Structure formats: structure tokens, C-alpha cells
């Protein structure tokens, strides 16, 4: 009980009302229990919530300028918004319903009874505490499952696990390379989770997703007024990642002036915010990732050699999926289980023929492509029969037919080419006919029994629900 009370006592309530008397009386009522802030407009309420840790907002509906309903709307767009209790002179049920619909916890009419108000606030703050706890636990679960989430039995992956294990035990910079979707971010998060800095933050920055002219401030932060649009002081990612890991994704896209600045921080371990003069020390471990050949970019002068060596103290190269096809079956199983868990469905099965096709495909998008495909298949499947060849998209079954048509190359025997073509042709006829076999047979000009035989030969399941 005591614990609960100390917890509530630390919470911050923001009172928003244009009338001084209301602000003062609420402050008097609440200040023993909560930390109380007061402002007189909706606009000020928004900036207070952005700048400070506000747990609950008591919001007047009628104010000059931005009204309470509009402020509520904007508040709800802020990530992890505070709870909001609306306050109004008119006891309009319609307004109350609208407020709650728009995300408010409750609605109270003025003049209010102190005890009633305190009770509403207590419940609203309790809800906030619970939500925080759930968010926290959820993030812990994600981290935990991230731990056992790297699947791979192939020799290449076993070797990789050994290297990752060693990297976890050190504190040097790591450069992770690999094609798109090979698991670079997953490995970076694993190093964080299993490494010495697991108690510190993991701060990702995607260098390609942020306009280069904003990247310096993203890295180092800025002081208020340091450039147009810098309305507030902002803490950069290097500062945020202190004691933890800064994950620089798509590092090859970094402009040369930023490469120079990054190099300086890595060498000197200190920096200043944009427009500032205070020297800030940083103790962030840098893990960077790229799907480009950085060495080649160094050779052609697009990436600084000295920075390359700074980043690449411990290299980790992730193999493309097509170079470890042996892992495909366990990856398929792993993802199907994960998807079933998420959708709360039974784990789907895959026919042996379909698995063969999945193993033969070249997976240009690597593990992400496999995961996305399985998710689509499960979403569209009826769930009472295994996933078969006929469920797979044709670019997976006949990758060469897409694009410039490998069917015309002479690298395979005539028999094999004819076989592949026949399978593809039957499949497309079946699809066009909505899997009505008699209709497909008619289109193909063969007897239905011949079609059934050929479907069996080509591993096309006849059971279509
Ligand atoms: N070995 C693995 N075992 C299980 N899941 C994996 C494995 N590798 C990657 N994944 C999953 O595949 C997806 C893509 O991985 P991730 O985002 O780490 O790839 P990436 O290399 O960062 O890709 P990109 O270059 O496109 O950013 C994620 O959902 C990740 O969890
Ligand atoms: Mg990535």
C-alpha cells in the first residue's frame, strides 16, 4: 500500500485552464498528492507535455485559442500520451462522450466535487501505471525472444554464432555486412542483449532514412535556435546511446562531411551539440551495418578509409540465404510457429513438394522475403490443409520465367525444360479456372484424368478447399 502511494506521489499532473481561480484551486487541492504544473492555454499544454514528463492532464474544454477538444486531439498524437481528464462548465453528455471517444479518460462538469475529482484522477493514474508496466514487460518479452531468435544449423551459421559470442564479450566497434534481409539488425540487437551493455540503451539510426542535412543534429543534437526550425534543444543519438549501443544502419549512405564528423567522435569520444559549445563525452559502442561493399566504396573514394577501419574493428559477414539453403526448413518452421502464435492459430504445415520449391528458390530478399511470404500464405490459407505448391506465387516456383525468361537458355536439358514449362502451364490454367479441374482440363485440351495424373507428377495438390 505504501509502495502504491509513493508511486502515485511522484506523478505529475498538468492543469490547463484559462481561469486563474480554477488553476489555483486545483493546485491547492492536488499539490499534496502530485507534482502539479499549470498552464493557461492549449498550446502551452502541448509544449509542456512534450518537454516534461506529464502523467495526467486536466484539460478545460472552453479556452481562447486552441480549445480543449483540439488540444486533446493533438495530445493523443504524442507517443505515449498522458491520461486526460476533461473539465467543462457545461454538463453536456454529448461532449463527454465525444471526449472519451477521442481518448480522454473521463469528463467532469464544473463545479466539481473534490472527492469525485480525486477519485477520477486516482483511477486515471492507476491506468497509466498499468499501461507503463505492460509496455515495459512487452519490451522485455521482445528482447527475450530476440535472444533465441537467430535460427540456423548450417555450418555458416554455427560459425557466425561463435563469432557473435566472441563479439559480445568485447567492447570494440562492429561492422555487420550482408545483403538486405539477412538479419543485420537482429544480430546487432543480439549483441546488445547478450553483451556487456545490455543494461544500457540500444539506439538505432537509419542513416539512409534521415535527410543528410538533419543527420548531424540527429547524431549530436542541437541547441535551441541553432538553425531554422530548431525550436527546442534536442539530445542527439550519441548522447542517448551513452552506456549502450548506437546502431548505425546503412552506414554507406553517409555524406563525406558527416563521415569526417563521425570519425572525429569515434577518435576523441567527445562532441558538441550543433550550435552549442559544451563538450559532451560519449561512451556508446558503435555497431554499424551495410548491404554495400564498403571496401569497394573505399577503393572508389566514396567512403573514408580511416573511418572504415574505425568501424570495422570486428567484422561480421552474414551469408545470403541461398548460400545456406539447408537452414530453410527450420526457418520455415520457426516462422510458421511465430506467425501462429501471433495470429493465435494452429501452426501451418508445408507439403514436402512445396518445401522443395522453397529450398530451390534463390531468395533475393533473403530471410525477410521468406518471413513475409509465409505470413501471406498463412493469412490467406484456410488452415485445414498444408501449404502446397499451388499456394506459392509463380515467381517462387518459376523464378526464371519472370524477367528475361531463363527457359530459353540451354543450360538445362530439353526434358527438364519441358517439364518445368508443363508444370507452370498447368498451374496457370488451374489458377485461371479457379482450381476447377474440369474447366482447366478443357482449356488445356486434355482429359480430366490426364490432368489429375499430371498434377500428381508435378506435385500439385488436388485437394483445394
Ligand atoms: N537467423 C535468423 N533467424 C530467424 N529470423 C531471422 C534470422 N535472420 C533474420 N531474421 C528475421 O528476418 C527479418 C529481417 O532481418 P533484419 O531486419 O535483421 O535484416 P537486415 O539485414 O537488417 O535487412 P535490411 O538490410 O533490409 O535492413 C527480421 O524479421 C528478422 O527477425
Ligand atoms: Mg536492417
**Which grid cell sits at 308?**
572504415
Query: CB of 184 closer than 6 A to ligand 1?
Result: yes
Q: What's the gap in Å between 180 CA and the centre of ligand 2?
A: 7
Q: Over the stretch 276-310, which tens digit does the pLDDT of each residue have?
A: 999 999 999 999 999 999 999 999 999 999 999 99
Count Cβ atoms within 10 A of the Cβ of residue 367 and give its class: 0-12 exposed, 13-18 middle, 19 or more buried: buried
Helix (H) or strand (E) holding 12, with range, is: strand 12-16
Whose CA is closest to atom 16 on ligand 1? 183
Topology agreement, domain 148-317 and domain 405-465: no
DSSP-assigned states of every residue in 375-389: HHHHHHS-SSS-B-G
Query: CB of 27 closer than 6 A to ligand 1?
Result: no
Closest by CA to 318, choosing from 437, 161, 115, is: 161
First to last CA, the chain: 58
In angstroms, the CA 113 to CA 200 distance is 45
Q: Quick one: three-class SS letters along 150-216?
A: CCCCCHHHHHHHHHHHHHHCCCCCEEEECCCCCCHHHHHHHHHHHCCCCCCCEEEEECCCCCHHHHH
Closest by CA to 191, choosing from 174, 204, 203, is: 174
Give the pairing type, strands 270-271 and 280-281.
antiparallel
Which residues partner with 248 through β-bridges?
A: 205, 288
In angstroms, the CA 251 to CA 288 distance is 6
Q: What is the pLDDT of residue 4?
A: 37
Q: Any idea what DSSP says for residue 327?
A: G
The sign one gets for the Cα dihedral 440, 444, 447, 451 is negative
Quick check: 99 and 107 in contact, CB under 8 A? Answer: yes
Q: What is the pLDDT of residue 84?
A: 96
Fold of the 2-137 domain: Rossmann fold (3.40.50)
Length of the chain equals 465
Which residues of 307-362 form beta strands (DSSP E)?
A: 314-317
Q: Output phi, psi for 369, to 5 deg.
A: -60, -40
Whose CA is closest to atom 10 on ligand 1? 183
Of 367, 371, 372, 374, the residue with max ligand 1 atoms within 8 A of its CB, to mutate for a pocket test, comes to 367
Q: What is the pLDDT of residue 316?
A: 96
Query: CB of 319 closer than 6 A to ligand 1?
Result: no
Query: CB of 178 closer than 6 A to ligand 1?
Result: yes
* 148-317 belongs to CATH 3.40.50.300: yes
Residues of the chain with pLDDT under 50: 1-9, 142-147, 401-405, 465
Q: In what order do the strands lie in the sheet with 56-60?
A: 35-39, 12-16, 56-60, 83-88, 106-109
Whose CA is closest to atom 13 on ligand 1? 368
Q: Which region, left, alpha or beta, applies to residue 152 given φ > 0 means left and ψ of -120 to 50 means alpha? A: left
Query: CB of 372 closer than 6 A to ligand 1?
Result: no
Query: CB of 152 closer than 6 A to ligand 1?
Result: yes
**Which grid cell sits at 63?**
479556452
Fold of the 405-465 domain: Arc Repressor Mutant, subunit A (1.10.10)
Quick check: 86 and 92 in contact, CB under 8 A? Answer: no
Contacts of residue 293, defined as CB under 8 A and 6 or more positions apart, other chains included, come to 177
Q: Which residue has the cell 498463412?
A: 378
In angstroms, the CA 82 to CA 133 distance is 14
Query: CB of 371 closer than 6 A to ligand 1?
Result: yes
Give the pairing type, strands 314-317 and 174-177.
parallel
Give the pairing type, strands 221-222 and 234-235.
antiparallel
Fold of the 321-397 domain: Helicase, Ruva Protein; domain 3 (1.10.8)
Q: Where are the domains of the chain?
A: 2-137, 148-317, 321-397, 405-465
Quick check: 281 and 144 in contact, CB under 8 A? Answer: no
Query: CB of 151 closer than 6 A to ligand 1?
Result: yes
Q: Any idea what DSSP says for residue 82?
A: P
Q: What's the gap in Å between 397 CA and the centre of ligand 2?
A: 27
Amino acid at each position: 500500500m505504501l509502495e502504491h502511494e509513493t508511486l502515485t506521489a511522484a506523478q505529475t499532473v498538468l492543469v490547463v485552464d484559462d481561469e486563474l481561480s480554477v488553476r489555483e484551486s486545483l493546485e491547492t487541492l492536488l499539490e499534496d498528492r502530485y507534482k502539479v504544473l499549470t498552464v493557461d492555454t492549449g498550446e502551452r499544454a502541448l509544449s509542456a507535455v512534450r518537454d516534461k514528463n506529464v502523467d495526467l492532464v486536466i484539460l478545460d474544454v472552453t479556452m481562447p485559442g486552441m480549445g480543449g477538444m483540439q488540444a486533446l486531439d493533438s495530445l493523443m498524437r504524442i507517443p505515449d500520451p498522458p491520461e486526460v481528464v476533461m473539465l467543462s462548465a457545461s454538463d453536456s453528455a454529448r461532449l463527454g462522450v465525444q471526449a472519451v471517444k477521442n481518448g480522454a479518460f473521463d469528463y467532469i462538469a464544473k463545479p466539481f466535487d473534490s472527492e469525485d475529482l480525486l477519485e477520477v484522477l486516482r483511477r486515471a493514474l492507476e491506468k497509466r501505471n498499468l499501461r507503463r508496466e505492460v509496455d515495459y514487460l512487452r519490451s522485455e518479452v521482445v528482447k527475450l525472444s530476440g535472444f533465441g531468435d537467430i535460427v540456423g544449423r548450417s555450418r555458416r551459421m554455427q560459425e557466425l554464432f561463435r563469432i557473435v559470442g566472441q563479439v559480445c564479450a568485447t567492447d570494440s566497434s562492429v561492422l555487420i555486412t550482408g545483403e538486405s534481409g539477412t538479419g543485420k539488425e537482429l544480430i546487432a540487437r543480439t549483441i546488445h542483449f547478450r553483451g556487456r551493455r545490455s543494461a544500457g540503451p540500444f539506439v538505432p539510426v537509419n542513416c539512409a532514412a534521415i535527410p543528410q542535412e538533419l543527420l548531424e543534429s540527429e547524431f549530436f543534437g542541437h541547441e535551441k535556435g541553432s538553425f531554422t526550425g530548431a525550436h527546442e534543444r534536442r539530445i542527439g543519438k550519441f548522447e542517448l546511446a551513452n552506456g549502450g549501443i548506437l546502431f548505425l544502419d546503412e552506414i554507406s549512405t553517409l555524406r563525406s562531411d558527416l563521415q569526417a564528423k563521425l570519425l572525429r567522435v569515434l577518435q576523441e569520444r567527445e562532441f558538441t551539440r550543433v550550435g552549442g559549445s559544451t563538450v559532451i563525452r560519449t561512451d556508446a559502442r558503435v555497431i554499424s551495418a551495410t548491404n554495400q561493399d564498403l571496401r569497394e566504396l573505399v577503393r572508389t573514394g566514396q567512403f573514408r578509409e580511416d573511418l572504415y577501419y574505425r568501424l570495422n574493428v570486428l567484422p561480421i559477414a552474414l551469408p545470403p540465404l541461398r548460400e545456406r539453403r539447408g537452414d530453410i526448413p527450420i526457418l520455415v518452421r520457426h516462422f510458421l510457429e511465430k506467425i501462429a502464435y501471433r495470429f493465435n492459430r494452429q501452426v501451418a504445415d508445408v507439403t514436402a513438394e512445396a518445401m522443395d520449391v522453397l529450398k530451390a528458390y534463390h531468395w533475393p530478399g533473403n530471410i525477410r522475403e521468406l518471413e513475409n511470404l509465409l505470413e501471406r500464405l498463412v493469412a490467406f490459407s484456410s488452415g485445414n490443409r498444408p501449404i502446397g505448391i499451388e499456394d506459392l506465387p509463380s515467381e517462387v516456383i518459376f523464378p526464371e520465367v519472370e524477367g528475361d525468361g531463363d527457359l530459353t537458355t540451354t543450360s538445362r536439358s530439353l526434358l527438364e525444360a519441358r517439364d518445368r514449362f508443363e508444370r507452370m502451364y498447368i498451374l496457370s490454367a488451374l489458377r485461371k479456372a479457379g482450381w476447377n479441374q474440369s474447366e482447366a482440363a478443357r482449356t488445356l485440351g486434355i482429359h480430366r484424368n490426364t490432368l489429375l495424373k499430371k498434377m500428381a507428377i508435378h506435385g500439385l495438390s488436388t485437394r483445394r478447399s
